[in-house]
Structure 1
Amino acid sequence: MDNYMISISKTESLTAGTVHDSKSKLKVKAFDILRPSIKPRKGEVRFFVTGGQQTLAFETQGYKKHRQILVLQMISRYCMYLGLLEAQIHSTLPLTG
């Protein structure tokens, strides 16, 4: 598995960091799904993760037809960093019920 850099600013929570791939220059931004101010950006890819009581959203930054497996690996690495070992990645927002 490739090495990805995870960056989290001092003002953000752990669930609002960014994963960087130095080879492709692709970034994947994580954010809390409950933030209403987040709107999908045109041309970017979005995934959702559920694990335990948490639901996170991930959106690419600088997506240029990268292979989907790269994006999923980056999300997986971030979930491992957060300790969400049984996280599930979804292509659409899963219904809670």
Structure 2
Amino acid sequence: MTVRTLAMEPMRHLDEPHVSQVPVIPADASPALHEGLRRRRVAATLGRCPCGATRPAMTAIQHASAEQGGTVWRPFPHTADCPAHDDPLGAALAAWQNRK
């Protein structure tokens, strides 16, 4: 069985001189998946989510890595009831991936 994957696209941060890879919202996304991905895109671009989560500041090592073109992972601390939190978004994504 083939599992579908999300397409990714680069998006520039408005609050930092860096670019993030963000998921493209699929045309056939469920409402839960659509809202979770939309919030992740907003959070990546603006540095804050509608749930109130803000992007953690980068450490000196992360800054150095980013300046050299490296990849830096900084997860957002979304609230548990936010559609972009890993738990509800993960469930919505799994349902979409396994849909026929």
TM-score, length-scaled by structure 2: 0.31
Larger radius of gyration: 2
Bigger helix share? 2
Bigger strand share? 1
TM-score, length-scaled by structure 1: 0.32
